[in-house]
Amino acid sequence: MDKVQRHLLKSTINRRMLLGGAAATAAAISFPRMIQAQSGVDAETWTPEYINSIAGTEEFDTAADLNAIVPLDYSGRLSYWWVGPTEASSQIDKDQNDAFWAAFAEMYPNIQVEAQNLDYNTLVDQFRTASLGNAAPMVVKLPILNGVEFAAKGQFMEFGPADVGYAVEDFWPGAMKSVTWEGKTYGVPTNNETMALIWNAALFDEAGLDPETPPATWDQLVEFSAQIHENTGKFGYGLVARPNAGNTPFRFMPKCWAYGGGALDEAEDAPTYEPIYINNDGSKAAVQVMYDMYVRDQSVPTSALTNTQTENQDPFIAGQLAMVISHPSEYAVMLDRAGKATGADKEIADLVVESMRYGLLPEGPTRRAVVFGGSNVFPVNPDIVQDGQDLDAVRAFIAFSTSPEWSTKLAWASSNPGNLNGFKTVWMKERLETIKNLDVTTSMLPYGIPFPVVPESNDIMLGIVPDMLQNALTETMTVDEACEDAASKIEALYSGM
């Protein structure tokens, strides 16, 4: 047992002693569990009505809860990397980020923080480089796809919800799966998200479609996209296929799983992550959907090969694009854009915002599915941290950022609290009242499927899957050939060739 592990064990023992007897009962009350067992949080019960019914039903005292974990007068230091708000983020997200840092500084005034807000598409590479040079931060917050790579390399500490006063049951099972490697836990979920289908009801009406009825299936989405393009001259669907960008697998894999495909067997009830599914009939059918829209019907932007969702925002607010897949924050982003528009552009933008509708992602012949996304926060192995770890500062920060209060506030317009108790807070109630269609995107969570929890997942999702799409959409290969090529690459990756 190394020095950090001994320190962590000692802190845990001291905390349990502190919370003994009546104090333990009080602590249990201050960290209430989900109203129902997680096994019951399914598509039938986790409805917009249920989500609204539990919001605002519990009160939380963040300062008191955290003081029991790390005293509020603790003096220390912390270094932290994460993907924070960008220029494209909504003003709400920017304001909540500022409020978060101000609140942490007020709660722990003696912890000095060095924080770096890094680009979504470069954070992982920068962390890899820093780790090799023993210059990593103490704590890193990574997209749900990325953590297992570093846990498998031994670059994260063993660490879980119990180390900051929470229970495993306070978090989604899919989220806990993403911080677990070979039976050990290495982090805590901060936020979890699923996306929804967003459409412009006015464009649907212009194309001769029912403006209030989204496509029920992926096949129908292809038909709607073609009809919109044919009848209006505008694009039907915001297809995304950019290489080395998380936007691409987040929007392709729901189609793939819906048709019974996958990269591996991650969509099965008990995945082993051994069989390769990327070349099965379901995966090929999903790639065919992309091909039909891009090549056959030409009903999507030609720039789809280099687009992320950010590039879809301009044509959507201009009324030139009818359907996209995105987060609840898309409404806030469009509201911001409409507020900045002038003249004729503002008239169009205001109509688009008024016409925005949210619905569940379409079904396929096998299932309805969506990527179970979000982020996790990890304490880094002190061996690769410059000047080592300040474990109590790390625990204070992780406890604060994953609390019911701040896991809710930081997810205000773009995600959902990783801590399930956040759904019962007054802040969740306020979100539901102010963020249009938030309950719809939240109700997609039971359909969420995590990316394969294997170290190779990053290479598969950001490299092999987009390359497969590029090969098919550019007609460099047929759909069958592109999927078979992807399967051979996954097999080579697994074999270490």
Mean pLDDT of 31-38: 32
Give the pLDDT score at 86: 87
112-144 pLDDT, tens digit per residue, is: 999 999 998 889 999 999 999 999 999 999 998
Shared domain check, 416 and 485: no
Find the range with the poorest average confidence among 133-137, 266-270, 384-388, 436-440: 436-440
In this structure, is residue 22 part of a structural domain? no
* pTM of the predicted protein model: 0.80
In this structure, is residue 27 part of a structural domain? no
Find the range with the poorest average confidence among 12-26, 100-114, 188-202, 226-240: 12-26
Higher pLDDT, 414 or 294: 294
Whole-angstrom CA distances from 491 to 212, 264, 273 are 44, 10, 12
Confidence tier at 346 by pLDDT (50, 70, 90)? very high
Give me the helix-helix angle, 479-495 and 465-473, nearest 10°: 160
Shared domain check, 324 and 467: yes
Find the range with the poorest average confidence among 53-62, 108-117, 170-179, 290-299: 170-179
Domain count, the chain: 2
Shared domain check, 323 and 252: yes
Give the pLDDT score at 46: 86
Strands (DSSP E) contained in 330-430 are 356-359, 370-371, 373-379, 416-417
Shared domain check, 59 and 155: yes
Nearest to 145 by CA among 483, 399, 453, 467: 453
Give the pLDDT score at 280: 98
Give the pLDDT score at 434: 85
Mean pLDDT of 347-362: 96
In this structure, is residue 33 part of a structural domain? no
Confidence tier at 379 by pLDDT (50, 70, 90)? very high
Higher pLDDT, 15 or 106: 106
Give the pLDDT score at 41: 60
In this structure, is residue 21 part of a structural domain? no
Distance between CA atoms of residues 468 and 446, nearest Å:
28
Shared domain check, 226 and 96: no
Give the pLDDT score at 103: 98
Shared domain check, 330 and 227: yes
Shared domain check, 398 and 426: yes
Find the range with the poorest average confidence among 80-89, 209-218, 342-351: 80-89
| Residue-number span of the structural domain to which 434 is assigned | 3-15+41-194+373-449
For residue 199, is pLDDT > 70?
Answer: yes
Average model confidence (pLDDT) across the chain: 90
Mean pLDDT of 388-405: 97
Give the pLDDT score at 30: 28
Shared domain check, 215 and 102: no
Give the pLDDT score at 167: 95
Give the pLDDT score at 13: 31
End-to-end CA, the chain: 35
For residue 474, is pLDDT > 80?
Answer: yes
Whole-angstrom CA distances from 67 to 73, 208, 258 are 9, 59, 46
Whole-angstrom CA distances from 351 to 200, 275, 339, 355, 484 are 9, 48, 12, 6, 45
Shared domain check, 361 and 231: yes
Nearest to 423 by CA among 43, 54, 42: 54
Domain CATH code at residue 8:
3.40.190.10
Residues 6+ apart with CB under 8 A from 470: 241, 243, 305, 476
C-beta separation of 228 from 449 below 8 A = no
Percentage of residues of the chain with pLDDT beyond 90: 77
187 phi/psi in degrees, rounded to 5: -170, -175
Shared domain check, 241 and 156: no
In this structure, is residue 247 part of a structural domain? yes
| 46: three-class secondary structure by DSSP | coil
Mean pLDDT of 10-17: 34
For residue 207, is pLDDT > 70?
Answer: yes
Confidence tier at 427 by pLDDT (50, 70, 90)? very high
Shared domain check, 380 and 321: no
38-72 pLDDT, tens digit per residue, is: 434 677 788 889 999 999 999 999 999 999 999 99
Shared domain check, 415 and 491: no
Mean pLDDT of 244-250: 90
In this structure, is residue 28 part of a structural domain? no
In this structure, is residue 20 part of a structural domain? no
Q: One-letter amino acid identity for 117? A: N
Q: One-letter amino acid identity for 190? A: T
Distance between CA atoms of residues 350 and 359, nearest Å:
20
In this structure, is residue 25 part of a structural domain? no
For residue 14, is pLDDT > 60?
Answer: no
C-beta separation of 227 from 207 below 8 A = yes
The contacts found for 490-495 with CB under 8 angstroms, 24 or more apart, are 490/263, 490/264, 490/276, 490/278, 490/456, 490/460, 490/464, 491/276, 493/456, 493/459, 493/460, 493/464, 494/456
Q: One-letter amino acid identity for 467? A: D
